[in-house]
A and B are shown apart, each in its own frame.
Chain A
């Protein structure tokens, strides 16, 4: 099984801050990685696919990068509506989610 390790598990930032979340795979997964946003009580929403491609309709302040085992998700200018938990998900071998990163406003 491929394990996905996200860090940090939670963070607190000011509106307008640049927020960065990392995701590490237990083996090389090329660019087989997606990022999701989940707001409390809601279903997840796909934001980024294939490591760096923005899903249609997703604001451009969200971005993703990386390949191999190390990936980064960035919010360039945190907005109040971005309060959520973010998950990475690999699809190189079946599907596995990371543990999640809860983003809060300071």
Chain B
């Protein structure tokens, strides 16, 4: 069965960077499907961050995060990474990876809480 397992919770200081991993299993990593990253601040709604194609590594990022977010993949370990730099308290959120097509996400990771605090 399709599974996405994310790395554990992180606590970072303002100005630092965080890198969250998402290990996929149960399907062929480099076939049709994409990996989205979506975040959710405490008590708030969902925010789409961007998408990566595991097969070719191409990425598209949400405009408001462009320049701060980088998504990469390692096909040898079927793992996708999301790195966010220049963290502020507004980046405190649960970060989800999710598999889907380019327009939807139907398999989700368990979420990774990133807390930004001095």
Given contacts A1-B63, A43-B98, A43-B109, contact A97 B48 (CB under 8 A): yes
The stretch among A17-25, A59-67, A69-77, A87-95 that forms the contact with chain B is: A87-95
Does A32 sit at the interface, judged by CB under 8 A? Answer: yes
Interface size, chain B (Cβ < 8 Å): 22
Task: Give, as a whole number of angstroms, the nearest-CB distance from A85 to chain B.
Answer: 8
Interface check A34, CB cutoff 8 A: yes
Tell me how far the C-beta of B106 lies from the nearest C-beta in chain A, rounded to whole angstroms.
4
Q: Contact: B108 with A44, CB < 8 Å?
A: yes
Contact across chains for A43 and B108 when beta carbons are under 8 A apart: yes
With beta carbons under 8 angstroms apart, the residue of A32, A55, A94, A96 that contacts B106 is A55
Choice from A1, A91, A98, A100 contacting B103 with Cβ under 8 Å: A91
Chain A: interface size category: 20 to 34
Our count of residue pairs bridging A and B at CB distance below 8 angstroms stands at: 52
Which residues of the other chain, A, contact B102 by a CB distance below 8 angstroms? Answer: 91
Contact A49 B104 (CB under 8 A): yes
**A32 near B103 (CB under 8 angstroms)?**
yes
Contact of A94 with B62 in the complex, beta carbons under 8 Å: yes
Residues of chain A within 8 A (CB-CB) of B96 are 43-44
Q: Contact residues of A with B, CB < 8 Å?
A: 1, 32, 34, 36, 38, 43-46, 49, 55, 87, 89, 91, 94-100
Q: A34-B104, A44-B46, A97-B45 given; name 13 further pairs at CB < 8 Å.
A: A32-B103, A34-B103, A38-B46, A43-B110, A43-B111, A44-B38, A44-B96, A44-B108, A46-B106, A94-B48, A94-B62, A94-B63, A97-B38
